[in-house]
Structure 1
């Protein structure tokens, strides 16, 4: 859960990051998808191509703390209660370019095959390229490298994209119930921790209290 020190990145900062030439297509897609879905990075990295509904701009994810439908050993992912995340036009434009005709396996994969001593579940390997699923550690290091201004470890954290998305939705007028639905958080107090309106947004809403016609 984020605290009051979690930075909120502006839309302009996020757009500029994704537009940079040195940011590869894989990372552009990941960052845009994290922002538009307001999902946790672990949820998005776990998605496989078979899960995607490209036409509907949505997919099921294994949510944090997801409970099993049944309690048995060796349960499959399909035995867990899944939740749906939604994305918009930015992600919809990038995903087909990233997949390049791939129809199975992880959406986000590494550029190299795993070493000979590394054993992975079949679901975590692309059957077409043999490359493994991109890990949280790798994705976090890439984002840090793209955004660090004071040396390694000073860049953005992936969670800031979720945090920023929910704050921007709140500033745009989304209701508490809609923010709960988008974030898939069950308690209103947990949603409020994500919503840190900017001084500009507070000034704008304050203008409604001024004399004259309401803006």
Structure 2
């Protein structure tokens, strides 16, 4: 990859610092923005741009056309276009450019694919299976049961789960204090099954504790804080063992928790607060999931469907 000229590299670095320090974005999010914006700036450089002021709407359209020719998914194109719009809007506010060339840039709409969720019976089998495995006393099995129960009970993200410390879980009040996106903190309730699993895990946790454990609630096999990859692999394996679902990864339990809450009558605003969504539009996706589940049940059960 050709190095960017100073007139393009410095604004990019400034925007990434703004995301990390000014907006509190995670390291993962900042890296994603860097990759998306670098693709646009490299394309602009190929067209002769040396500074941001050299980038106009035609430059951006050529970049987007090249992305389309590379057969990138529509969701990827939409994400990259959104990143460019954020970058250009910031550059205008910072006085680097006078006119935002991305304002008239159209991008493909994302496909509205509904997330895979578990039915209540599948969720019961999943958690019962993990509880049964934990009954043999293996501390890792106890941990896996507790983390799955907590993910489903609260709907928190896997990044939020692995970031929990012991003091973040109030077992008396059955709440957990979560640090979400943008360093926003929220308190999420959970039920008795999750509380029982966490209590069992806290009793088994000492078997994995090392000098690297610190105050982390969930630990890996070597005693350090459990990583996102380990948590994903754990949930993936448990979901695959069901044999009758396409759902995968910890986010499936987040989707499932949200859908079951709405199926049970929870209002949309409450679910938004529990999930830590900044926009209600994000939470509204789960209303479509619930409608689809209702439609499926109707078609199977109604004699004149």
TM > 0.5: yes
User: Which of 125, 132, 141 is the equivalent residue of 1:16?
Assistant: 125
| CA–CA separation in structure 2 for the residues paired with 1:94 and 1:28 | 7
Shift of 1:204: 7.6
Question: Residues 43 and 61 of structure 1 are in contact (CA less than 8 Å); yes or no, is this contact kept in structure 2?
Answer: yes
| CA–CA separation in structure 2 for the residues paired with 1:82 and 1:178 | 16
The higher relative CO (CA closer than 8 Å, separation ≥ 6) is in 1
Task: Map 1:72-151 onto structure 2 (within 5 A).
Answer: 81-100=184-203, 105-112=215-222, 131-148=223-240
Q: Deviations over 1:122-167 (max 9, x none)?
A: xxxxxxxxx1011110111122222326x9xx76211010111111
List runs of 5+ in structure 2 lacking aligned partners.
Answer: 1-74, 76-110, 135-140, 207-213, 299-305
Residue 171 to residue 158, structure 1, CA distance change in 2 (3 Å): same
Which of 1 and 2 has greater Rg?
2
Question: Residues 170 and 197 of structure 1 are in contact (CA less than 8 Å); yes or no, is this contact kept in structure 2?
Answer: yes
Shift of 1:42: 0.8
- Counterpart residue number, 1:201: 294
Shift of 1:3: 5.3
Task: Map 1:134-213 onto structure 2 (within 5 A).
Answer: 134-148=226-240, 156-195=248-287, 196-197=289-290, 199=292, 201-202=294-295
- Secondary structure at the aligned position of 1:65 is classed as helix
- Secondary structure at the aligned position of 2:233 is classed as helix
Deviation >6 Å, runs of 4+:
101-104
Q: How many residues are matched?
A: 172
Shift of 1:108: 0.8
Question: Residues 174 and 191 of structure 2 are in contact (CA less than 8 Å); yes or no, is this contact kept in structure 1?
Answer: yes
- Secondary structure at the aligned position of 1:165 is classed as helix
Write 1 or 2 for the structure with the bigger share of helix: 2
- Secondary structure at the aligned position of 2:290 is classed as coil
| CA–CA separation in structure 2 for the residues paired with 1:33 and 1:52 | 10
| CA–CA separation in structure 1 for the residues paired with 2:291 and 2:252 | 15
List runs of 5+ in structure 1 lacking aligned partners.
Answer: 67-80, 113-130, 206-215
| CA–CA separation in structure 2 for the residues paired with 1:54 and 1:3 | 38
With structure 2 as the length reference, what TM-score do the two structures score? 0.50
